[in-house]
A and B are shown apart, each in its own frame.
Chain A
Amino acid sequence: MKLVTAIVKPHRIDDVKDALREIGVSGLTTTDVEGFGRQRGHTEVYRGAEYQVDFVPKVKVEVVVDDGDVEGVVDAIVKAARTGKIGDGKLWVGEVDRVMRIRTGEMGPDALSG
């Protein structure tokens, strides 16, 4: 099993959710996060008041999937999150050793489905 983690723009999160639902992903976790990559912080000005924005708000999406589904999930996220502009975010895939559904004790892929 794999953990797919993506950092996306806040306004793309609904599209990402829809895209994942369409390919049958039944569960995901999102978190409001802040950070920076190549799109650094910047200085903003409002009516003469200057302030520094160090971190850019993003949403982190985490999905645990069966090995065979990774490509489809990655594809769906990337397509839905891409605007072509700077700051579209990052995605990475990592190995997951164990998954358990807390309520039933089901393990592995069984714990992911349904």
Chain B
Amino acid sequence: MSVTGPAVSLREGLRALERAYTLGHHGPAVARRRAALVDACLVELFDHAGAPARVALVATGGYGRMVQLPASDIDLLVVHDDPASIAQSVDALLYPLWDAGLAVGHAVRTAEECLAATERLDAWTAMLDGRLVAGDETLAARALAPVQARAREDAAGFARRLRDAAGARRDRFGSSAQLLEPDLKEGSGGLRDVASLGWLATALGVDLERAGVVRARERAAVDAAEAFLVRGRSAVQLLTGRRADRLVSELQPDVALGMGFVDEPNLLATDGLMRALFEHARNVEHVVALAVARVMAGATDVGSVSVANPAAILEALADAADRGEVPSVGLLNAVEDVPVPDPVAWDTRTRDAFLRLLRAGERGSAMFDVLDRMGLLARFIPAWAGVRCRPQRDPYHRSTVDAHLLAAAARMADLLTGSGDAGDPLEAAAVSHLERPDALLLGALLHDVGKIGTGGHVPIGTTIARDTLEAMGVAGADRDLAVFLVQEHLLLPDTATRRDLSDEDLLLDVAARIGTPERLGGLYLLAKADAFATGPAAWTPWRETLVHELVAKVQRVFDRGEMGEELAARLVERTERLRQLLEGESDDRIERFILRVPRSYLLAVDPGRAAEHFRIVTPPLGRNEVRTAATVGSRAGTYEVVVVASDRPGLLSWIAGSLAIGGISILAAQAFTTEDRTAIDVFEVEGAFEPEITEARWRAFRSTLRRTIEGSISLEHRVREKGRHYPRPRTPSPVSVRVLNDVAEFSTVIEVGAPDRIGLLHDITRTFADLHLGVHLAKVATFDGRVVDAFYVRDELGRKVTESGMLADVEAALRERLEA
């Protein structure tokens, strides 16, 4: 059967073409040859079909533009004016193609139906690419001319429809300029966007450059992008053998190899491919968006704009951003004529204009993109060269590093103006306490600037950010805050999701690292802006709840003055001093000790004493073991004694009781509990009867305590007996008890004031033990015969006591015991 002949030879011809070029070299010229082969086949088929009268065979879409890809459909429009006989003609044309296994997309319409079909934008634009292949020329013109005229009637309206459709495609297919597995046809910046420039030209009825809609350089950039995209998409289709448009990860190594990319230092071949692709697709996005906006605005006047220097470039772009405009052709031409040194020497004007752009949010970021497309952004910020179009391969990020940075900065600007997430009370509170918004914008812009393909991005980024800000002339507190934000931008999310937020020392450490509430607020806002710019998976309600908890708790640490810049500095200094004093011990053991003891211990206990405690605390403790060490105290006649034992309910009361029985008065006490529940209790004491406390008396004390812990003696009776030998104060001062639940995050604080007497501390702490409360931290002091104590207590589950009945019980029990 001879009519299958042309289709079969087309198939053979297409296969020969496939083999004629290596993968990755099927560019526009090959696509044109492919279209020409199809043309020839169709002409022959049309003749075989008897060249039906009043029928026109029109190539549409990519085929119409002579861009026919290896596995793309052959898009055909059959125009006719005789519905009765057309079916037979169409069958004669299409069956041979189908039989030969070729994919054909076809429409059969009368001229009137063609005009009606313009209601659907994709049908309309396909026809705008229409090209007569065979048949009745007059009929084809009659069908296509009104379709073009309709676009010309209202070019601005047509441009708006293109813009809306591009937005919808972007929502559905994402951006070819950012996605790691981009759709090369439908994605934003893909081949459909390239084609839309042609449709715009048709709508204007004149060449886009002549119309002042696209500049020569822009046109050249899009042509280069089209060539690259055609090669890439052809390679995808040749590799899969299907009409595939998505450059998925599995195909990237082969496509990269085919297109001539090789591994380079800090850039894999596949990343090189993606980087080049992103670069091209971004040019397309950029030029098409500008062209569409210019046609919509009707602002096709090239005009003359004068721009004198780099600062003026930024000012002009900031002006345009403030007015909500895209930069005009005239402006960009003028910008291109400005000699921009590499790198730019920043001055106040440059900096002010740059900050204006940052504050303008999304519109400002778009202007940075304009600068970048012109190759100028990296002259202002040399570090930008390292992150431009750099792909990020992780489960969260969906954009390139530079696009992510611009998006984060834009989001930060939104947050700072209060147009972020209205449902987040932390955000509003953080914003309202800010003093240095510009530092936050700069921090957001630079937070990932260290992602340059080598080493840990945070330390690298911190150095780059500092140098960049230096060059920009950002100094003092603004620079410090911005650098801090870059350095610590992962602290909140990482800590919140991986660490125990009910660990008091963790909160103190985080607070010490952050230092001030303003920095905390800044980090929170950056975490949100970063997550927003990253993608939907980066900020789930789950993560938000955890980050909120951390931020609120650290803020309360600041509010209560438990940590701040001064205390953090003191903590660092004391810890360092302790390390020096312990020189010679293994680093491992020193660090373990520092991590074990609470921060309150390091802040309260002199490093010299802590170094002595190290030797007592470090060797493993037996279950009932008690270790004590006594030294001469700071005042004459006083001693300092430390008691180390496994913590258990009642321990403090037993120690206090054992001291009382030994005739030892407690002047001051501090009780600490380590992470692994070892009690380190430090007492300042003096002899009650005899001032000198001999080793024999210490031994007696240790023995009493050990036997109490072992349960072999009861202290109560003995302490009471001992009390009888001591004079009671003549004028008893009143007992005061205050229960405070808002001064510590994880403990209820109980303040007790009472006249001093033997066994007093024992009585107080015994009361806690009776009520099953553990003493986590205690501060005991004696002034002039009166004891003022603060106890940080927790219930059996390690929680604050919140039940009001229990709180009342504690107070009543203490009063009863102390007033008796």
Contacts and interface: CB of A to CB of B under 8 A. Distances in A.
A32 B538 CA distance: 12
Interface stretch (B324-332, B545-553, B564-572, B710-718): B545-553
Contacts of A71: none
B30 to A, nearest CB: 39
A32 B425 CA distance: 23
Given A44-B549, A45-B552, A50 B499 contact: no
A46 B545 contact: no
Contacts of B277: none
Contact of B799 (A48, A56, A83, A86): A86
Contacts of A32: 540, 542-543
Given A32-B542, A47-B555, A53 B548 contact: yes
Contacts of B548: 44, 46, 51, 53
B511 to A, nearest CB: 14
A86 B542 contact: no
A53 B549 contact: yes
A76 to B, nearest CB: 19
Contact of A47 (B433, B541, B797): B433
B552 A44 contact: yes
Contacts of A33: 542
B428 interface: yes
A9 interface: yes
A49 B797 contact: no
B430 A47 contact: yes
B545 A57 contact: yes
A14 B498 contact: yes
B545 A53 contact: yes
Centre residue among B429, B540, B556 by max chain A CB count within 10 A: B429
Nearest to B433: A47
- Interface magnitude class on chain A: 20 to 34
B799 A46 contact: no
A49 B429 contact: yes
Select the residue from A14, A45, A53, A87 with max chain B CB neighbours within 10 A.
A45
A106 interface: no
Interface in A65-84: 83-84
A56 B497 CA distance: 12
B43 interface: no
Contact of A46 (B497, B502, B546, B552): B552
A36 B247 CA distance: 44
A11 interface: yes
B785 to A, nearest CB: 40
B517 interface: yes
A50 B546 CA distance: 16
Nearest to A55: B545
Contact of A86 (B497, B541, B797): B797
A33 B542 CA distance: 7
B546 A85 contact: no
A51 B545 contact: no
User: Most A CB atoms within 10 A — which of B541, B552, B555, B799?
Assistant: B552
B798 A10 contact: no
Interface in A1-59: 9-11, 14, 32-34, 44-51, 53, 55-57
A10 B498 contact: yes
Contacts of A83: 500, 502
A60 B428 CA distance: 32
The 10 closest A-B pairs by CB, nearest first: A49-B425, A49-B429, A47-B429, A46-B552, A32-B542, A51-B425, A44-B552, A85-B798, A57-B542, A11-B500
Given A11-B500, A50-B425, A57-B542, 18 more contacts: A34-B541, A44-B548, A44-B552, A46-B430, A46-B552, A46-B555, A47-B517, A47-B555, A49-B428, A49-B429, A51-B425, A53-B548, A55-B545, A57-B543, A57-B545, A57-B546, A83-B500, A85-B797
5 contacts: A9-B500, A11-B498, A32-B542, A46-B426, A46-B548
Interface of B: 425-426, 428-430, 432-433, 497-502, 517, 521, 540-543, 545-546, 548-549, 551-552, 555-556, 797-799
